[in-house]
Amino acid sequence: MKVILNADIKGVGKKNEIINASDGYARNYLFPKNLAVLADAQNMNVLNAKKASEQHKKDLECEEAKKVQEKMKNIVLKITTKAGENGKTFGSITSKEIAETLEKQFKIKVDKKKIMLPEQIKTLGTYVVDIKLYEGVIGKLTVSVTE
């Protein structure tokens, strides 16, 4: 019997996946616990509509990320900090500080976990930082650390 899963079931399948289950397993376990529904025409249409809606939402998010990526090309983020001799900063510039400054100066909200810093910035200068905006969309941001 073909069924559409309503939840992830270990060893069986993932949510919204169509599987072949034995009649007894489907009737006695999956259906009573609302873990699956019968894969008839009506439920297949609902599933296809859900998938189309999710795909549309992903496309919109990707477009938004590409717009932010284009904005970031022209942005030079200025961060001022105290520095000692030889341009060495007191403390370091972290991804959290970059995210907060980006939101304050340009109203672009980015999660600090998405900022890919190889290591914390500890000297004055200009750096190019990669920011993972969406799956496959990486923005490059220029960060200028001054005193």
Contact 124, 143 (CB under 8 A): no
Start-to-end CA span in the chain (Å): 70
Of the pLDDT bands very low, low, confident and very high (cuts 50, 70, 90), residue 118 is: confident
Q: Which two tokens stand for residue 55?
A: 């795909």
Of the pLDDT bands very low, low, confident and very high (cuts 50, 70, 90), residue 24 is: very high
pLDDT at residue 71 greater than cutoff 90 = no
The sign of the torsion formed by the CA atoms of 120, 126, 131, 137 equals: negative
Q: Round the average pLDDT of the chain to a whole number and report it.
A: 91
Of the pLDDT bands very low, low, confident and very high (cuts 50, 70, 90), residue 35 is: very high
pLDDT at residue 87 greater than cutoff 90 = no
Q: Which two tokens stand for residue 106?
A: 């340009």
Q: How far is CA 54 from CA 49, 124, 125, in A?
A: 9, 44, 43
The CATH superfamily label for domain 64-146 reads Ribosomal protein L9, C-terminal domain (3.10.430.100)
Of the pLDDT bands very low, low, confident and very high (cuts 50, 70, 90), residue 33 is: very high
Tell me whether strands 36-38 and 2-5 are parallel, antiparallel or unpaired.
Answer: antiparallel
Give, as one character, the DSSP assignment of residue 108: -
Q: What is the mean pLDDT of residues 26-52?
A: 95
Q: How far is CA 124 from CA 16, 74, 88, in A?
A: 51, 21, 6
Show me where the domains of the chain are located: 2-62, 64-146
From the list 76, 65, 99, 72, the residue with the least C-alpha distance to 146 is 76
CATH architecture of 2-62: 3-Layer(aba) Sandwich (3.40)
Summarised one tens digit per residue, pLDDT across range 72-81 is 888 899 998 8
Q: How far is CA 75 from CA 23, 56, 72, 86, in A?
A: 60, 29, 5, 27
